[in-house]
A = this chain, B = another copy of it.
Amino acid sequence: MPGADDAHHGLMRQALDAALQGHRGANPLVGAVLVDDNGAVLATGHHRGAGTYHAERDAIESARARGVTDFSATTLYTTLEPCRHEGRQPACTRQILEAGIGRVTCGAADPSANGGGAQLLREAGLDITTAVLEEECTRLNHRWNLAQIQHRPFVTVHLAQSLDARIAAADGTSQWITSAPSRQHTHRIRERVDAILVGTNTAVVDDPRLTARTEDGELAESQPLRCVMGLRDLPRGAKLTQDKPEGQGWMQLRTRDPLEALRTLAATRHNGYPVKHALVEGGQSVLSALFAADLVDEIFAYIAPLLLGEGRSTLGDIGVTTLDEALRFRLDPADGGPVTQMGPDVCLHLTPEGP
């Protein structure tokens, strides 16, 4: 029945498009589309990050806001099998059952240890279809899945460089290469990650605060755990060790092994939850180590339209000696899109080339 398959695929693609509206990070990207028994779309939904509605509930609430009360004849398309886990948000299976939705069509299977909710919903009498556009739906979160398998946080990297990929001029000056709009974008990312990580050299040379700040320079409501990776002690008086926004401190990860550092972070709690999303801001050594170990899941590369010639490179040795070994990424359409002009700069959003 190719007609029905086409409709299935078309609606799952709409759910995939909705998923891309979210941010990558602690949770996977998920999108949902709710349709009536004629296949007309009643509402779409997507997940906006830890602590917010899951995509399924977002679609259901959006439909309710439009006056839908009887869900018995509706079908919910979701890019990821609904969860059965009661966490910061109620389980999606419960939301679906309470709404009285008749049919659920899923893309990717839930890879989590306690299993997804498809079987539970089937046992409750719902009509369940799985594995629709399974490959695309799984690929959407291939790096998030890898982070789970590796028991580490999802890693977003911030590169702020000149067109010739320098992060400082020959004399070490680096503030600021990128523009205020680019830096504000970074502050919005800082605000939603669990931890922010730099190397000891950056901590010493730049003496950063690593706080998330608003456009007015005020501390943002949510602050990441501020982490420094490396063996060297920070100097007395470093801003990082003194500023304690909202009573929150900082931590040093005394290792040069990036996976060890990330696993330590995953075992650390911040604001009551484990660290599931880390933003790495530099410098060259930490970034190069993460790239060399294939531990970067997402890049925001802010490119300022200026040239510095000689100076400090964004990256050093990443274990690549010939073009065939290059680390390959692709433009990421999620979360604002693949390419954004930010004031005079251009921000490229990238994720590793998938399987």
Contacts and interface: CB of A to CB of B under 8 A. Distances in A.
Contacts of A307: 291, 315, 318, 320, 326-327, 329
A323 interface: yes
B309 A320 contact: yes
Interface string A330-355: 11000000110100101010100000
Nearest to A318: B309
B314 A164 contact: yes
B323 A169 contact: yes
Interface stretch (A4-12, A88-96, A170-178, A183-191): A170-178
Interface stretch (A70-78, A97-105, A125-133, A298-306): A298-306
Contacts of A169: 320-323, 325-326
A326 B308 contact: yes
Question: How many A residues touch the partner, as a band?
Answer: 35 or more
A324 B311 CA distance: 13
A162 interface: yes
Nearest to A292: B309
A202 interface: no
A313 interface: yes
A328 interface: yes
A305 B330 contact: yes
Nearest to A291: B307
A288 interface: yes
A331 B346 contact: yes
Nearest to A176: B323
Interface of A: 159, 161-166, 168-171, 173-175, 177, 288, 291-292, 299, 301, 303, 305-311, 313-331, 338-339, 341, 344, 346, 348, 350
7 smallest CB-CB distances across A and B, nearest first, come from A165-B165, A309-B318, A173-B323, A306-B326, A305-B329, A307-B327, A171-B322
